[in-house]
Amino acid sequence: MSTYGLTPEVRALRERVRRFIDEQVVPAEPVLARDDAAAAEAARRLKAQAKAEGLWALGHPQEIGGGGVPFMPFVYLNEVIGRSHWGQVAVGSLSMQDSIMLHLYGTAEQKRRWLEPLVAGDIYPSVGLTEPEVAGSVRIVSTMGHTGGAHCEIRLSDVRVPRDHLLGGRGQGFIVAQKRLGPGRIFHCMRWLGQAQRAFELMCARATTRFAHGSLLSEKGEIQRYVAESAAEIQAARLMTLQVHGALGVTADTPLEFMYREARYARLYDGPDEVHRMVVARRLLRDPCGAAPWA
């Protein structure tokens, strides 16, 4: 990865964020995963600590109460924020894209009502996508045996959106959505890269402590291949780590199965792989030399 934007100042800030995630958020994960009163209190404590340490809402524009870290430097911060699923909540970056959309397209009343508490982490956004003529009723939908995130199926009948509830101009919803989704995909990928790096670390720790069939896993050629390939292709570290952990990797005893399940959703909600391949192919075919990743 290019180091464009990774200045000494950004490196120092990224190290502070990483220490906070690794030393404060990761140890709290078992409590945060319970989704009960204790989890809410743990999240409140982490948010207060992040604010006290100057790590809150770093990527939000300064004019709405954020840290004002530019796009590319924040990409590097998001990489270490992603080391924990709850990192976004703990440092306030979860609401960044929605806050920016309200800032850019919201009315004065919409900003007054929602923007300040959104940036402060007092409220959180939820998303509802309409798909006409698809039957359903209000219910929590289990996805991959999991109900976290409250994926719901609802039916909207004779619903009208008041004029003062529109975000942006009438008929401009697709443009607003694309403005949000463009950088959002980059931020998603960087968080998953952070998870892959943490998975890589777990794999190495497991391989150097697990003794089987006469030697440590780390001394076996095949495991060494996993480590080398994962380091070279860090995006594949999640799957390789599951293999090294065996059955342990798909239990709740490590965070690996949760990482796998949550990242897998993106293959569905962020569009089919075929569309992404089509876009990449078009770009390469327009300029095979200049658009290639190694150019």
Query: How many angstroms separate the CA atoms of 225 and 40, rounded?
Result: 42
- Give residue 237's pLDDT: 45
CA distance 137 to 179: 31
Tens-digit pLDDT string for the chain (295 aa):
445 667 899 999 999 999 999 999 999 999 999 889 999 999 999 999 999 999 999 999 999 999 999 988 898 899 899 999 999 999 999 999 899 999 999 999 999 999 999 999 999 887 776 666 654 446 555 555 555 556 666 777 888 888 888 888 888 888 888 888 777 777 888 888 888 888 878 888 888 889 988 988 888 888 888 777 777 676 554 344 546 566 676 677 777 778 777 777 766 666 666 666 666 656 656 666 566 554 4
DSSP string, 179-200: HHHHHHHHHHHHHHHHHHHHHH
Residue 266, phi then psi, degrees to nearest 5:
-60, -25
> Tokens for 267?
């293959």
pTM of the model: 0.74
Q: What CA–CA distance (Å, rounded) separates 284 from 291?
A: 5
Cα–Cα distance list, 65 to 49, 119, 129, 215 (Å): 17, 7, 29, 55
May I ask the CATH class of domain 174-264? mainly alpha
- In this structure, are residues 240 and 249 in contact, taking their beta carbons and an 8 Å threshold? no
Residue found by looking up tokens 């409140």 in the block: 44
Contact assessment for residue 109 and residue 136, using Cβ atoms and an 8 Å cutoff: no
CA 101: distance to chain centroid? 18
Which residues partner with 235 through β-bridges?
none
CA 16 to chain centre: 19
Domain 8-120, CATH: 1.10.540.10
Residue 230 to residue 237: CA distance in whole angstroms: 5
Q: 3-state DSSP call for residue 84?
A: coil
Per the CB < 8 A criterion, the answer to whether 187 and 176 are in contact is: no
Query: Which 3 state secondary structure label does DSSP give 36?
Result: coil
Give Cβ neighbours of residue 11 (< 8 Å, ≥ 6 apart): none
Domain assignments of the chain as residue spans, ordered by start = 8-120, 174-264
Helices within 106-245 (DSSP H only): 108-110, 116-120, 173-207, 221-232, 237-245
Distance CA 22, CA 26 (A): 5
- Residue 169's identity, in one-letter code, is G
For position 244, what pLDDT does the model report? 59
pLDDT for residue 80:
93
- Residue 231, classed as helix, strand or coil, is helix
